Chains A and B, each alone.
Chain A
């Protein structure tokens, strides 16, 4: 039996309702992947390995939202088997794009897609992991950022808190030297209320931020929404842009509810 100090931390990667993109981000760490695999033992990661280990896991990365009754139980088991549990991506932290069902009649959704909706087992809601179990850290993004993922893994390996700033995309635009698309072109942009992490991609490609990293740590919607209106968005546009990839994030949800009549 190896000495305790030789034991590599056990990593589990789990998936609920999602597109696979956040797990793929780990595989997209081409330069670091083999190095990471030397530091940790990837015990459970079905996208990449057909030899799932039983745990317990020192660190579990969870992708996806909870949308079935079975998944409400599965997340409990994963939590119980994991020392640290980190959610990765907009689905796991805010219900994902599939949380649009939360504002609709899910039976009607089923009937629109399936001839036999009775064959389909689904909950009426799509909820983040934190609605079901305690979460140690939430990494945002649709998809998450590769650099931030490596920071989270290395931080937990070193026993420290991840250094992932919670300020807005605007800071990243300034750092990148990108001209503000709102100020210069009157382009509606969610940068002021959106969590940093992508490196302010959209403004660098001449479009407004569409909020795929969810809310930043300090949002000021009463000041921000009039800015969107000034730049040509009507109520429906505002609702649509906030109700997309992070629709169930409390800050976005509250802002939308204020916009909607009645």
Chain B
């Protein structure tokens, strides 16, 4: 490149994430002037065509936003549509929903750990490559993922776009005997999950930290998955601390019905995903946020494994803000979800009816659950006969986009300052890793990231 000229380079494609995006880096005098994650997946207009549909339809329709986390869409939709009619399903139905969600957590988080993320730490371009060098581990990952799929298939009919969830509960609930075959598989999965935590804890992690507010649902006493109150933890800089501080900072909560007042979406020219800010500040949802906010309520045996893996003790206020280490937390969450699934199967009592009636009436309802990659919020307004008149979906990756850009800027800057001059290929590999740390579900279109670097 000629000095003093700016030039756009297309040097790579981002693989092993969900969705279509490009990255634009502008470097001026050795400093990163701008880092943009450009999401240009073709829009699919769910919020537009949900208008006019029946209130029974959003759980099935919105699951089609994402084949990787369809249960998250179904559960957030059900909660919002029930909220619009002031209905809360009973404990037994709620337990069954949590079991279904645990299945998705196990398979989706395992997919990310083994298929998408591990090759970054071990070399190789894919799980197929890894299978040549790490056959035992890859087979363990496949078995673990299969255990998650088995739960979703049994409760939902199939692993992708399951058919059994409905507003008010399920179309059909299983007998105790039908759930029993899952137990042996999950007991093996627990060993595999524990081995996964130990395995990924041994990877090599750069020292870094992120300076964002963290947002997750919280349900004191339990690790929030399928319900809870939005809870935000202050960013380190607001408290005058460095980005990589591992201290817990003050949290605040707000009622879910006020979510649209706190998380404000705006459109930026370079993205088909809307950007959002939490009370005007950049925030991050997902694995790091959940562990910071709910980690203290993990069962002691899971906390022990997490502590041995170097994550510290969330009960003592330790917070992990290093996104490269998110793979360890993800593995801990799989271990938790396997144990939670076993507990839910062990204590399962079939509900008296597969669903509760949800009579039509006009209203607006809010629903949020923890998709594997972060808080997923749905809002629906219904008219008196149950027709959807307005729909809003706020997925985690749209919320995380600004934080991912900040993380890119920070990491590339560090690299430019500390190491030898990087090639474009090295920069691309680094940026891809930074993006994958956040397991973005850009979902919905071709997967590639063109890195363009402007140097002037």
> Which residues of A are interface residues toward B (Cβ below 8 A)?
14-25, 27-28, 30-31, 33-34, 37, 42, 45-52, 64, 67-68, 71, 74, 96-98, 100-101, 104, 106, 108-110, 112-116, 119-122, 142-143, 198, 201-202, 204-207, 210, 212, 237, 240, 244-245
Question: Which partner residue on chain B sits nearest A209 by CB separation?
Answer: B163
Of the A-B pairs whose beta carbons lie under 8 Å apart in the complex, a sample of 5, sorted by A's number, is A48-B15, A49-B125, A49-B126, A113-B43, A143-B161
Asked if A47 and B61 sit within 8 Å, CB to CB, the answer is no
Q: A21-B70, A37-B131 are in contact. Are A205 and B15 (CB under 8 A)?
A: no
Question: Which partner residue on chain B sits nearest A89 by CB separation?
Answer: B67
Contact bitstring B159-194, A, C-beta under 8 A = 1, else 0: 111011010001110000000000000000000000
Q: Which of B140-168 contact A (CB under 8 A)?
A: 142-143, 145-146, 149, 157-161, 163-164, 166
The 10 A-B residue pairs whose C-beta atoms are closest, nearest first, are A21-B67, A49-B126, A51-B125, A50-B15, A46-B447, A109-B48, A100-B49, A30-B142, A98-B44, A46-B15
Contact bitstring B257-278, A, C-beta under 8 A = 1, else 0: 0000000001101001010000
Question: Which partner residue on chain B sits nearest A41 by CB separation?
Answer: B128
Asked if B68 and A240 sit within 8 Å, CB to CB, the answer is no
Tell whether B448 is near chain A: CB-to-CB under 8 Å.
yes
Asked if A21 and B161 sit within 8 Å, CB to CB, the answer is yes
For A20, the chain B residues whose CB sits under 8 A away are 18-19, 66-68, 443-444
Given contacts A21-B64, A33-B127, A205-B170, 10 further A-B contacts (CB under 8 A): A19-B443, A19-B444, A28-B149, A34-B139, A42-B128, A45-B126, A50-B119, A50-B125, A113-B43, A207-B163
Asked if A18 and B445 sit within 8 Å, CB to CB, the answer is yes
A47 to B446, CA, bound (A): 9
> Which residues of B are interface residues toward A (Cβ below 8 A)?
13-16, 18-20, 40-49, 51, 53-54, 57, 60-61, 64-68, 70, 111, 115, 119, 125-129, 131, 138-139, 142-143, 145-146, 149, 157-161, 163-164, 166, 170-172, 266-267, 269, 272, 274, 354, 432, 443-448
Question: Which partner residue on chain B sits nearest A145 by CB separation?
Answer: B158
- Checking B14, B126, B272 against A48 with a beta-carbon cut-off of 8 angstroms, the contacting residue is B126
Asked if A206 and B171 sit within 8 Å, CB to CB, the answer is yes
Asked if B161 and A50 sit within 8 Å, CB to CB, the answer is no
Q: A25-B160, A143-B160 are in contact. Are A30 and B447 (CB under 8 A)?
A: no
For A202, the chain B residues whose CB sits under 8 A away are 157, 163, 171
For A18, the chain B residues whose CB sits under 8 A away are 67, 444-445
- Checking B53, B128, B443 against A49 with a beta-carbon cut-off of 8 angstroms, the contacting residue is B128
- Checking B45, B65, B446 against A19 with a beta-carbon cut-off of 8 angstroms, the contacting residue is B65
For B111, the chain A residues whose CB sits under 8 A away are 24, 27
A207 to B41, CA, bound (A): 34
Q: A19-B64, A46-B447 are in contact. Are A201 and B42 (CB under 8 A)?
A: no
A-B contacts at CB below 8 angstroms, number: 196
Asked if A48 and B127 sit within 8 Å, CB to CB, the answer is yes
A157 to B57, CA, bound (A): 40
- B162 CB to closest chain A CB (Å) equals 9
Asked if A47 and B447 sit within 8 Å, CB to CB, the answer is yes
A210 to B158, CA, bound (A): 15
Asked if A28 and B159 sit within 8 Å, CB to CB, the answer is yes
Looking at B14, B15, B51, B272, which has the most chain A CB atoms within 10 Å of its CB? B15
- B354 CB to closest chain A CB (Å) equals 7
For B161, the chain A residues whose CB sits under 8 A away are 21, 142-143, 212
A113 to B432, CA, bound (A): 29
Asked if A142 and B64 sit within 8 Å, CB to CB, the answer is yes
Asked if A50 and B68 sit within 8 Å, CB to CB, the answer is no
A133 to B138, CA, bound (A): 37
Asked if A14 and B160 sit within 8 Å, CB to CB, the answer is no
A142 to B70, CA, bound (A): 12
- Checking A27, A37, A119, A245 against B64 with a beta-carbon cut-off of 8 angstroms, the contacting residue is A245
Asked if B157 and A205 sit within 8 Å, CB to CB, the answer is yes
A98 to B65, CA, bound (A): 10
For B68, the chain A residues whose CB sits under 8 A away are 20-21, 24
- B142 CB to closest chain A CB (Å) equals 4
Asked if A49 and B16 sit within 8 Å, CB to CB, the answer is yes
Asked if B164 and A205 sit within 8 Å, CB to CB, the answer is yes
Q: A28-B160, A51-B126 are in contact. Are A15 and B447 (CB under 8 A)?
A: yes
- Checking B13, B43, B160 against A24 with a beta-carbon cut-off of 8 angstroms, the contacting residue is B160
Asked if A27 and B115 sit within 8 Å, CB to CB, the answer is yes
- Checking B61, B266, B269, B445 against A97 with a beta-carbon cut-off of 8 angstroms, the contacting residue is B61
